Amino acid sequence: MKRIVCLSLSALLVALFSFNAFAHFGMVIPDTDELTQDKRTVNMDLSFSHPMEMQGMELEKPAKFFVVENGETRTDLLGTLKSAKVMDHQAWTASYTPKAPGLYAFVMEPVPYKEDAENNYIQHITKVYVDAYGEGEEWNKPLGLRTEIVPLTRPFGNYAGNVFQGIVYFEGKPAPFTRVEVEYYNEKGEKQAPNDRMVTQEVLADANGVFTFACPWKGWWGFAGLTTAPEEYKGREFELGAVLWVEMK
């Protein structure tokens, strides 16, 4: 009986560890990465989840949500958010219709999330780009976020199998040797990892903050460059994630 109890407890601990080991991702997923005369409005889902395993988490209404037009003009969109459910958890939706051709970067800055399993707080500053009418230029221009991934590969109009490169920035400068977690948004549930360690891919940025990853499947891929803030948040370590979502077609 003791052996059975020990085995059961061990199995439970392994299961809990495996769940907590999955990477968290802030998500801003548009229904398109390009706008045309036939598709003039972009609709977006904002959520917080384990995207490969399709395990949702609660997303409190973000602290900030805005769009940056052509790397310069910033427009607050927080008031446009509507409550929704994504993966059966609290999430938000938004729609936006650009008034002119150009490059539109949508940014979500969530309220820091308390992660008891890691005894810290997590904030994923999440970004996605939409090209309007084929005029999306200067996509490698930093937006001035506290932390962000600046693309070296165009962040839209990509084929599945393409290599994606980016630079992780923190406090306005490239962040050397940053750990970058990568996950696929398994929206249709068609993909299955052979084991837990294959759920989240991981690469390390080089001395210049540059990372490289080849995306094998079509769909949305999330990249999260993780750094630790120099200050604590509510008495705990404060993890900052520079998250970027890119669609492969």
Q: How confident is the model at residue 23 (pLDDT cuts 50, 70, 90)?
A: confident
Task: Decide if 14 is inside a domain.
Answer: no
Task: Decide if 128 is inside a domain.
Answer: yes
Residue 167 to residue 174: CA distance in whole angstroms: 7
- The residues pairing with 69 across neighbouring beta strands, listed in sequence order, are 73, 104
Task: Decide if 9 is inside a domain.
Answer: no
| pTM exceeds 0.85 | yes
What's the mean per-residue pLDDT of the chain? 92
Task: Decide if 6 is inside a domain.
Answer: no
Residue 166 to residue 158: CA distance in whole angstroms: 14
What is the pLDDT at residue 26? 96
Task: Decide if 52 is inside a domain.
Answer: yes
Task: Decide if 17 is inside a domain.
Answer: no
- Asked whether residue 5 carries a pLDDT value surpassing 50, the answer given is no
Task: Decide if 84 is inside a domain.
Answer: yes
- Domain of residue 64, residue span: 24-248
Q: How many helices (H) and strands (E) would you count in the chain?
A: 1, 19
- Asked whether residue 154 carries a pLDDT value surpassing 80, the answer given is yes
> Count of domains in the chain?
1
What is the pLDDT at residue 20? 42
Residue 165 to residue 167: CA distance in whole angstroms: 7
Task: Decide if 110 is inside a domain.
Answer: yes
